[in-house]
Copies of this chain bind each other. A is one copy, B any other.
Amino acid sequence: MNSIKIFSPATIANISCGFDVLGLALDNIGDEMIIKKINEPGVRITKIVGQKLPLETTKNVAGVAALALLNEMETSFGFEIEIYKNIKPGSGIGSSAASAAGAVWGINELLGKPFNKTQLVKFAMEGEKLASGTLHADNVAPALFGGFTLVRSYNPLDIIQINTPKELFVTVIHPHIEIKTVDARAILSPTVLLKDAVKQWGNVGGLISGLYTEDYELIGRSLEDFIVEPIRATLIPNYYKVKESALNAGALGCGISGSGPSIFALCKGENVAKTVALALKENYKKTGIPFDVYSSKINSEGIKIIK
């Protein structure tokens, strides 16, 4: 096998209570990439369709992640990457993660899988660092593992795959405004109240428990964020109205996707997810801000080969 075409999913990080540790993968939204083994060593980005992004390897998240992998395994040959972007950079649903994770996953396949998924997360994080300035794994982990993932620890890196209930769907609204991750991080306070932190980890415990026992009500009750949402919500026009309309339309819970501006709603069943999508469209029309809305089941396998 010298060439591979893959699908790399969009992802939602944080999931309300799990700031910087929880993430999930979407099923029908993501980038496509073609990765080819070539005789010349190194990594070349030969084509990017759908978005204006740098082709220069060291300035492209996929390129940087690929180089991090090849740094650990010297090869006499190299790789060419074509990227077909369906995820808009800056949308808050893991655009850079999809490119970075896709590159290392594809190269690992062509190499005969010398690295495990946690090692691939480590390489892909180098791409994330280029994009946002910090080594974070909460998008690349679900892109690579699929389903719900927990970054239990960064040092050493410890990724836990969490059970994903079958009937769980996500609806996402992406308002077309720009929020840079670095700015969304800068407005957070470096300290938090212990009493809020306790409420937050109570909800992390509740959410993980609900995912294992497939208790949708518990999942919904646990989707609370006492620490990040109150600050970042100010960056997203109409945020609380969107949330209210999602919950009124039957969503289990609703929160900011990653550092925004996208907003996600978890739903039990595809019908509820579609009803929520309609409610969000109705609601956001009033703002005059352009937006996209999509619904998806949770992707349980992560990045995959496509024809």
Contact = CB atoms under 8 A, between A and B. Distances in A.
Interface in A168-208: 188-195, 197-206, 208
Given A21-B198, A205-B18, A205-B208, A190 B193 contact: yes
A211 to B, nearest CB: 9
B188 A221 contact: no
Nearest to A198: B20
A220 B194 CA distance: 24
A18 B201 contact: yes
A160 interface: yes
B192 A197 contact: yes
A212 interface: yes
A152 interface: yes
Interface residues of A, number: 40
Interface string A210-232: 00110000100110000100000
A193 B194 CA distance: 9
A19 interface: yes
A184 B150 CA distance: 31
9 contacts: A19-B198, A153-B203, A153-B206, A162-B205, A188-B194, A192-B192, A192-B197, A197-B227, A205-B208
Given A153-B199, A153-B206, 12 more contacts: A20-B198, A152-B202, A152-B221, A153-B202, A153-B203, A160-B209, A160-B218, A188-B194, A191-B191, A200-B201, A204-B205, A208-B208
A153 to B, nearest CB: 6
Contacts of A21: 198, 201-202, 205
A198 B153 CA distance: 9
Give 6 nearest A-B pairs by CB, closest first.
A152-B206, A212-B212, A201-B201, A197-B197, A208-B208, A201-B204
Given A194-B188, A199-B153, A205 B158 contact: no
A119 to B, nearest CB: 18
Contacts of A67: none
A153 B201 CA distance: 10
Contacts of A202: 20-21, 150-153
A257 to B, nearest CB: 18
A191 B193 contact: yes
Interface string A2-25: 000000000000000111111000
A188 B194 CA distance: 9
Nearest to A213: B212
A202 to B, nearest CB: 4
Interface in A282-299: none
A206 B158 contact: yes
